[in-house]
Amino acid sequence: MKFKEYGPVIMIIAVLAVLAGVQGMFGRTTQPEMLQSQVGGTGNSLQEVTVFDLEIELHEGSEIEMRYMARDEDLQMAEVRRNDRNERLSGDEALEEIRVIVESSPPLTSTEPLSLIQGILDQLEIHQADVKDFDLEYELADGTKRTIELEVDKDRGDNDNGGSSPDNDWSENSD
């Protein structure tokens, strides 16, 4: 038959397919993973933020701290400390991790602090039941300042039934 005529063409196609697959495997650059949160979308940009200070204390005693300060585009300081992962980052690595958190969070101008808390916890892959204390302070370039604090007290007793139940106290301050 005439299969011998198509042999070189089939071989060329097979080689091109293998090369395309190899390029796809090795040509990828690693990007920080933005997790899909159940909380609404964002419009945040790290350029809009001049101060970002996040402290989360977990029930097991671990702490997560993220600090960012920018005076202008050339002078930015960032630090990330996660005791739950024995991780300490500074410089560009910390800046990138904070950028992902800020840009994937619900709008920082939102008046719904619980949505912002849940969005940040989702991005950090922290279950809300593991949180003992959540403190977030940030300042935007337009002068907006916000402080969000959430304290979960699992040891407080319930007077009605004698058992203990979680008690969530949160507050938000804005200037």
Task: Convert the pLDDT of each residue in 36-75 to its tens digit.
Answer: 444 444 578 888 999 999 999 999 899 999 999 998 777 8
CA–CA dist 69, 160 (Å, integer): 47
Contact 4, 71 (CB under 8 A): no
Task: Convert the pLDDT of each residue in 79-138 to its tens digit.
Answer: 999 988 889 999 999 999 999 999 998 888 888 899 999 999 999 999 999 999 999 999
Q: Which residues contact 109 (CB under 8 A, 6 or more apart)?
A: 140, 144
Residue 79 pLDDT = 96
Residue 156 pLDDT = 53
Residue 74 pLDDT = 76
pTM over 0.85: no
